[in-house]
Amino acid sequence: MVDEHNLLGWSEFEAGATLFSFEGDRADNIFHENNSVKHSVADWRVLKPIFNAAGCIHCQFCWISCPDTSIVSTDRKFERIDYDHCKGCGLCSDVCPTNPKSLIMFPNQVQPEDAIKAWPAKAEKKKEQ
Ligand code: SF4
Ligand code: SF4
């Protein structure tokens, strides 16, 4: 169990310090106590992506584009969003190709069930003149 009170804050590390992800050999898969995997680092998020499974084609564009590895996929299927690490950058929503998008950014306090009720309808393609 990590003692949160004994961890260094970001401003206490020397400039250029390296934070190792794992204790010892990576193969042991034991995360270092400073690794963010055990801590929520999403405090500054203002918007959050909400997922609507209705139109998802499991293309994995969101998974490969997320800079925080916060899209969790299993067997190449969208599984969930890791809200402990998602920073709300919106890239996943930007790259989602479905119509309507299957990931849309909402204010952080919006509940998924309310977002699903407010989901936009399929947009009509504009006819070329
Ligand atoms: S980008 Fe959109 S359609 Fe593709 S897997 Fe992600 S949510 Fe689903
Ligand atoms: S909003 Fe940004 S950080 Fe969050 S899941 Fe989407 S791409 Fe990742």
Q: Quote the radius of gyration of the chain (alpha carbons, Å).
A: 18
Centre of ligand 2 from the C-alpha of residue 46, in Å:
12
pLDDT digits (tens, 9 = 90+) for 34-89: 778 878 888 889 999 999 999 999 999 999 999 999 999 999 999 999 999 999 99
Pocket of ligand 2 (CB under 6 A): 49, 65-66, 68, 70-71, 81, 86-92
Centre of ligand 1 from the C-alpha of residue 9, in Å:
35
Nearest to 86 by CA among 102, 101, 100, 65: 65
Domains of the chain listed by start with CATH number: 1-39 (no CATH), 44-120 (3.30.70.20)
Specify the residue for token string 């680092």: 41
pLDDT digits (tens, 9 = 90+) for 93-115: 999 999 999 999 999 999 999 99
Centre of ligand 1 from the C-alpha of residue 42, in Å:
22
pTM for this predicted structure: 0.81
For β-strands 103-107 and 47-51, DSSP reports them as antiparallel
CB-CB contact of 70 with 81 (8 Å):
yes
**Three-class secondary structure of residue 72 per DSSP:** strand
